[in-house]
Amino acid sequence: MKKTFIIEDLECAHCAAKMEQAVKNLDGVIDASVNFLKSSITVEADDEIFDKVMKQAVKECKKIEPDAEIVL
């Protein structure tokens, strides 16, 4: 499954790159990309674990950019 989500209050391009790398490194993630200009993240993972992966992705992104929020 591949889905795109809006990231609210993403203000730093460097942080966006760090968020992308952190999500790519999560178990179960096939691919991930953050588009800073569109303030979005696209995540691809297996259907069975997609919700679990996204919960982990939200936590990892909060560590990097506490003010940014992925709208699930």
- Mean pLDDT for each 10-residue chunk of the chain (72 residues)? 98 96 98 98 97 97 96 93
Backbone angles phi, psi at 57, to 5 degrees: -60, -45
pLDDT recorded at residue 8: 98
Percent helix / strand / coil, the chain, rounded to 5: 40, 30, 25
- Residue 26 DSSP code: S
Report in angstroms the alpha-carbon separations of 39 from 12, 17, 34, 50, 61.
10, 12, 7, 21, 13
CATH says 2-71 is which class? alpha beta
CA Rg, the chain, in Å? Answer: 11
Whole-model pTM: value is 0.94
pLDDT of residue 41: 98
pLDDT of residue 56: 98
